[in-house]
Chains A and B, each alone.
Chain A
Amino acid sequence: EPEVTQTPSHQVTQMGQEVILRCVPISNHLYFYWYRQILGQKVEFLVSFYNNEISEKSEIFDDQFSVERPDGSNFTLKIRSTKLEDSAMYFCASRFSSGGHTDTQYFGPGTRLTVL
């Protein structure tokens, strides 16, 4: 069964460093998302991406964040200068289309980001 994959599973970085989190969405999916979950808290929406552009973003997704689909398979989240409060689990998700049974977002296993 196709699934969303994410690398690395755990990333440790120093405050102020740039990190890139990588995702490979399900191959025929068209919509891509990033969410984050601070330890023990709820899952929060960061950004959605469709047709090579951001379609929606939350207040959390400020100028320190960017997303990119550099090729036909990868979808990346870059944090330019990490802060301690960026420590969280970051989930990538994808879905095929809108409406009907294809509306469901399928999540990757997550990347745990630890900022020291």
Chain B
Amino acid sequence: AQKVTQAQTEISVVEKEDVTLDCVYETRDTTYYLFWYKQPPSGELVFLIRRNSFDEQNEISGRYSWNFQKSTSSFNFTITASQVVDSAVYFCALRSSGTYKYIFGTGTRLKVLA
């Protein structure tokens, strides 16, 4: 079975704080792909990052960084020096090879307070 768990329903931080959003996934496949999407209040889904199962290298993009650990089946997302514009719902998603569909987690609502 494939599953994505985002245990944090909602997180509130004060601007400039760092925040980590957790994502734990389950899949029996050895080849799979992980994604993070941002859903701002306007409702669209904005692609942030994609990771292959065979590439455990962590990635940094500006204030965003991602920590992929196969040993714990986690793909966590950290925002450094958060800003009010980071306020959104963040979804983690999984696609296993052999299927076309993405399995989304339930999302984490991040509120960054000024």
Contacts and interface: CB of A to CB of B under 8 A. Distances in A.
Interface of A: 31, 33, 35, 41-45, 48, 50, 55-56, 58, 89, 91, 101, 103-110, 112
Interface stretch (B15-23, B62-70, B74-82, B99-107): B99-107
Interface of B: 33, 35, 37, 42-47, 50, 91, 93, 95, 99-107
Q: Which of B45, B50, B105 has the most CB of A within 10 A?
A: B45
Contacts, number: 52
B37 A107 contact: yes
Contacts of B42: 109
A91 to B, nearest CB: 6
Contacts of A91: 45
Q: Which of A33, A35, A44, A105 has the most CB of B within 10 A?
A: A105
B92 to A, nearest CB: 10
A39 to B, nearest CB: 10
Contacts of B91: 42-43
A107 B104 contact: no
Q: Which of A31, A106, A107 has the most CB of B within 10 A?
A: A107
Nearest to A57: B101
A43 B45 contact: yes
22 contacts: A33-B101, A35-B102, A41-B106, A42-B105, A42-B107, A43-B91, A43-B104, A45-B101, A45-B102, A45-B103, A56-B99, A58-B101, A103-B33, A103-B50, A104-B50, A105-B47, A107-B44, A107-B45, A107-B46, A109-B43, A110-B45, A112-B43
Nearest to A44: B104
A104 B47 contact: yes
A60 to B, nearest CB: 11
